[in-house]
Structure 1
Amino acid sequence: MWTLPKPKYRTGLCAEGEIAVNIGGVRVVLFGDVLNRYPESRLAELLNCSTQNYEVITSLCDDFDPGRKEFYFDRDPDAFKCIIDVYYFDEIHIKRGICPICFIKEMEFWKIDQSVLDECCRSYLSEKEDELKEIANKVKVILEDLEVDQCFTRSQRCQRFLWKLMEKPGSSLPARIIAIASFLSVLVSAVVMCMGTIPELQVADTEGKLVEHPALEAIETVCMSWFTAEYLLRLASSPNKLHFALSFMNIIDFMAIMPFYVVLSLTYLGTTSMMELGNVQQAVQALRIMRIARIFKLARHSSGLQTLTYALKKSLKELGLLLMYMGVGIFVFSALAYTMEQSHPETLFRSIPQSFWWAIITMTTVGYGDIYPKTTLGKCNAAVSFLCGVIAIALPIHPIINNFVVFYNKQKVLETAAKHEVELMELKSDQHQCGGFIDSIILRNVLNWKIIYIS
């Protein structure tokens, strides 16, 4: 089978129809008929331009030796070895250890279209571009928090100070104290909510119904006052109030506060006849139960919970497959259990829908024992069902753990780089203006992270 000639890594003069290029000290001799397969590329233009037109040659390469007819390029030789594959195989693969962002710049320099990238490398490039943008944005936010801009007005400076005080626990000692106080308030509120349901701690009202102890209600009121003040201060100091209001964690904060005031309005502002309505009382109870949403406020103060939330969000596909496997298994094994247990006079499987509960607790290896098979075939079916359940649950564990580790490592790299850049800003504050320095910092960070994070 006929194959294209390979590039030659040799010294000496080029033969007719060949071109010699020196890439970062590595000399390569390429064949003209191969390069003409992509006539719009830089190498094909060099091949076809006249050696007498020195101005055109210097615009295409860094240097030129007319005696040896050799073109010099101050480029990465490892990346060039991947570039020349397009002339021989009509596709390019990014080798391991080469930054995909830098490689795209190499392709732009050699005038090779990105469409020749193989599908695997294209998806890899897209993924890394998104990750680099995310890292750069986070670094920019951190560095902008440390920036002192004299162009701000007094109200803007107060707003920025209040925002850092409420949202950046690491910015100062008062901000750290506020974060700890908020964290303790969430814990105290959760404990009070649980203790309020203990009958021994409840008291009877005028109608003889058991209600929460007044002392617990007082603690609850203090906690809710703190949550309300915290939410309003954060909203007032937010630079983008619409984004703040629509943020998932802030919606949870609002849902944790809102039931308290709705119940307060229905209790103290509503009429007696209105409160006697059964649906209103049920609504009040439902709103009081919504207080459990405040426990999710802990995620604002815990990087571990935030990392877990991110891992679960990135693993929705795997979790969806798990639910599908479990759903199919529950339906199949519950139907088999109902069929096999019908011959026993004391069967506990009255219908297939009722058997769903048995299949769920069996496949998840909970096994309450309230429903269990009594025939031999039913017991064999139960054994197979919990074995399949264990396998189905174990399948998505590795992707979820991997997403958790990737996000955690990304956060550690971000924190380390941010601290390093803060030190550099302090060292160079006398020589650079803060505003222009931030962009150079982000650019340098991205280039450094390509080696640390992407490779």
Structure 2
Amino acid sequence: MEDSKEKIILNVGGVRYETYSSTLRTFPGTKLCSLTEPHAPSIYDYNPTTKEFFFDRSAEIFSYVLNYYRTKHLHCPMDTCRSVLEEELAFWEINETQLASCCWLKLNNKEVQPEEFHIWDENDQADDQCLIVQTERMDFSWRTRWQPKIWSIFEKPFSSFSAKCLAVVSLLFIIGIVIIFCEETKAQFEFFTANFTFVGHSEVAHNYHEPYYHQAAYLLHLELFCVLWFTFEFSVRFCVCPDKKKFFQNPLNMVDFLSLFPVYIELFVDGQIQKMPSLGLWLGFIRIVYLLKLLKISKLIETPLILRVLSYTLKSILREICILLMILAFETLFFGSLFFYGELLCSNPSYSGELHFTDIFVCFWWALITLTTVGYGDIIPLTSVGQVMAALAAVFGMLTIIIPIPIFLVKFKNYYAIAVFKQKLKRCKNY
């Protein structure tokens, strides 16, 4: 085997390969290189009859390994698994870092971390259906027999026909209370406009009559009817819920709980609400939670894949978002302060008009809307220095917001590819 032109025959997984010993010496210290040593037949599985070395390994990957010795460029099959490739390369004593850049990127795109690979299964179980605790009870009490059934009716709309009917009824009540909420705002708006008139940017209160807040009785009765249904539904779900702690950790359940209070409070203070008209406005403000109940429609439809990926992406980049908000807050304070003192120090002494700001907090508001490129125009610079500050704020704002966007898009693309791969894998298992 000393001759560089001497041929060596390799039998890998039943496939015979023939090459020169000089080719195997391309990378010293590897297993194939050791086959050129004189004592190799006594170490490895060597057949003196056929004069070949036998290795019970993957023939497909070995062809790429042998080609690596010939061309000094290591590639891998298109459909190879990373763990299998690492195992084969380790057997042939080849470092995986020698892999060509094209195949390296391909494997990295296909590589899925365990926590990322199973994230979609966890997301599917992260909703209210996950609150069902699997217990092995030997008793046959009424609660044990009926609790899972009632919970499924209220939490799994597609589990049975009765669950579908209940979900439709609940949806109709939600739509109804949203319509009632919109109708109630008319009385609140009339009360506000009847007691205040606007002159320019200031408001002047009327003193010609006493404030009077009146809500139509039929709207309050209809709202009470809907809230009574929500109270019944919430009470049943809370009673049959196996895990009360997880029940209240769900934001939608907290919305259901808060939505019960406005109408009961208004009924409790019905005789005094006209003496405290602002209370009616505050109760109307709290009624905004009725709109959040519309999010429960998501239980009736399958959440689109892109929304689930977006949700997980936002969670994964929460740290980056916090850093971005900190930078934006610093720029708001910095440019707001520069604008405030720049306008004061560089304003023309002969200018007798009023400035567009009254204090530095108003300048902070101006800096925020300028950095975010919204620019309402309610506050504008009057001096050259102020205009320069405004231009710098707009430029820095665009850089602050635009530069991180590609980073977020790359993460979103990676997570979306993982999600699509996971769905395809589930479909293959189902079929």
TM-score normalised to structure 1 length:
0.58
Instruction: Indicate the RMSD between aligned Cα atoms, in angstroms.
Output: 5.6
The runs of 5 or more residues in structure 2 that have no matched partner are 131-135, 192-209
Name the residue aligned to 2:375.
Answer: 367
Distance in 2 of aligned mates of 1:413 and 1:124? 11
Instruction: Indicate which of 81, 89, 101 corresponds to 1:99.
Output: 81
Distance in 2 of aligned mates of 1:106 and 1:140? 37
Cα distance change on mapping 1:320 and 1:84 into 2, 3 Å: farther
How big is each residue's C-alpha offset from its partner over 1:350-373, in whole Å with a ceiling of 9 and x where there is no partner? 544331111111122222222211
Name the residue aligned to 2:337.
Answer: 335
1:152-163 equivalences under 5 Å are 162=150
Residue 186 of structure 1: how far off its partner (Å): 3.5
2:223 is equivalent to residue 220 of structure 1: yes
Name the residue aligned to 1:317.
Answer: 319
Instruction: Indicate which of 13, 38, 62 corresponds to 2:8.
Output: 13
After alignment, is 396-405 or 379-388 more displaced? 396-405
Distance in 2 of aligned mates of 1:268 and 1:294? 22
Instruction: Indicate which of 373, 381, 386 corresponds to 2:389.
Output: 381
Larger Rg: 2
| 8 Å contact kept, 1:256–1:293 | yes
Name the residue aligned to 1:131.
Answer: 116
Distance in 2 of aligned mates of 1:334 and 1:264? 43
| 8 Å contact kept, 1:195–1:201 | no
The runs of 5 or more residues in structure 1 that have no matched partner are 1-7, 15-19, 58-63, 146-150, 425-455
| 8 Å contact kept, 1:361–1:368 | yes
| 8 Å contact kept, 1:186–1:294 | yes
Give the count of matched residue pairs.
372
Residue 34 of structure 1: how far off its partner (Å): 0.9
Specify the SS of the correspondent of 1:13: strand
Specify the SS of the correspondent of 2:319: helix
Name the residue aligned to 1:439.
Answer: none
Letter in 2 for 1:259: L
1:32-431 equivalences under 5 Å are 34-35=29-30, 50-51=42-43, 65=47, 67-75=50-58, 77-78=60-61, 98-103=80-85, 127-135=112-120, 162=150, 164-170=152-158, 175-199=163-187, 210=213, 212-231=215-234, 234=237, 241=243, 244-245=246-247, 247=249, 250=250, 252-262=251-261, 288=287, 291=290, 293-298=292-297, 300-301=299-300, 303-304=303-304, 306-342=308-344, 343-344=346-347, 345=351, 346=353, 347-404=355-412, 418=426, 421-422=429-430, 424=431
| 8 Å contact kept, 2:64–2:76 | no
Specify the SS of the correspondent of 2:55: strand
Residue 219 of structure 1: how far off its partner (Å): 3.5
| 8 Å contact kept, 1:338–1:350 | no
Cα distance change on mapping 1:405 and 1:171 into 2, 3 Å: farther
Specify the SS of the correspondent of 1:34: coil
2:12 is equivalent to residue 22 of structure 1: yes
Residue 81 of structure 1: how far off its partner (Å): 5.5
Distance in 2 of aligned mates of 1:348 and 1:71? 87
Residue 293 of structure 1: how far off its partner (Å): 4.5
Cα distance change on mapping 1:371 and 1:280 into 2, 3 Å: closer
Specify the SS of the correspondent of 2:336: helix
Cα distance change on mapping 1:217 and 1:140 into 2, 3 Å: closer
Distance in 1 of aligned mates of 2:65 and 2:8? 24
Letter in 1 for 2:218: A
Cα distance change on mapping 1:323 and 1:169 into 2, 3 Å: same
Letter in 1 for 2:176: V
Distance in 1 of aligned mates of 2:310 and 2:395? 27
Cα distance change on mapping 1:280 and 1:339 into 2, 3 Å: closer
Distance in 2 of aligned mates of 1:237 and 1:51? 69
Distance in 1 of aligned mates of 2:291 and 2:76? 50
| 8 Å contact kept, 2:61–2:88 | no
1:414-453 equivalences under 5 Å are 418=426, 421-422=429-430, 424=431
Cα distance change on mapping 1:268 and 1:340 into 2, 3 Å: closer
Letter in 2 for 1:374: L
Letter in 1 for 2:315: K
Cα distance change on mapping 1:366 and 1:104 into 2, 3 Å: same
Distance in 1 of aligned mates of 2:390 and 2:154? 54
Higher relative contact order (CA 8 A, sep 6+): 1
Letter in 1 for 2:81: C
Residue 123 of structure 1: how far off its partner (Å): 9.0
Specify the SS of the correspondent of 1:196: helix
Cα distance change on mapping 1:416 and 1:115 into 2, 3 Å: closer
Residue 341 of structure 1: how far off its partner (Å): 1.2
Residue 334 of structure 1: how far off its partner (Å): 1.8
TM-score normalised to structure 2 length:
0.61
